[in-house]
Amino acid sequence: NVAIAGHGGTGKTSLVEHILFAGQVLQKAETVDSGKTVSDYSDEEIERKISIHASLTHVTWNQIKINFIDTPGSSDFIGEVIGAFRTSESALVVIGAKVGVQIETLKLWRRLDAMKKPRMVFVNKLDRERADFEVVLDDIKGKFKNTFVPVSIPMGTGEEYKGIIDLIGMQAYFIPESGKTETAVEIPAEYAEAADEYR
């Protein structure tokens, strides 16, 4: 059980959609604006385009069922987040590549510390204008004083964003065409040095 948490607007619901798509639960990942996402299902959530309730979804990956709980980002609905943390073994904290660590992220991190929950960080929205992976990584390290080990790095950011490099498998994944899944390719020569350094 994994709680997906973070400040409002960091793209948690969209991330869940793409996890479900990658896990072959969905034929197409929907957008929050479309009002058709799996985890924002109530009329109020669809109308306001924000998560209000914690929503349970799951994928089966390598014969293991993984439950994901998409949580609201607004502090108005913190009770939903606390409930999700209590029922989860771990958390995936989503941080926007343009804005970095925000106040609600700090509060959620403290709650996870108090509950002694292991967690990962997902840097989202790397394709947005003024997104900067290096700056956000430094921000994360500075605000949380933990040792962070990237398992993937982006190929470019903002308008130059092309995809990611998996530092464990040492393979690259380019942004696929709409409706397609990405496939692993060799790391382009221009990113080979950065990949080696991070690995």
Which one, of 126, 107, 109, 128, lies nearest residue 118 by Cα? 109
Which one, of 67, 35, 65, lies nearest residue 48 by Cα? 35
SS3 category, 2 = strand
Distance CA 39, CA 35 (A): 10
The pLDDT value given to residue 31: 81
SS3 category, 186 = coil
Is the confidence at residue 107, as pLDDT, over 80? yes
- Span of 45-54, 100-109, 121-130 with lowest mean pLDDT: 45-54
Handedness of CA 57, 123, 85, 61 (dihedral sign): positive
With 0-12 CB in 10 A as exposed, 13-18 as middle and 19+ as buried, what is 181? exposed
Which one, of 30, 13, 33, 29, lies nearest residue 21 by Cα? 29
Taking only the tens place, the pLDDT of each residue in 63-75 is 999 999 999 988 8
In DSSP notation, 15-59 reads HHHHHHHHTTS-SSPPPGGGT--SS--SHHHHHHTS--S-EEEEE
Tokens representing residue 60 in the block: 């089966």
Residue 187's pLDDT band (cuts 50, 70, 90): very high
Q: What is the mean pLDDT of the chain?
A: 92
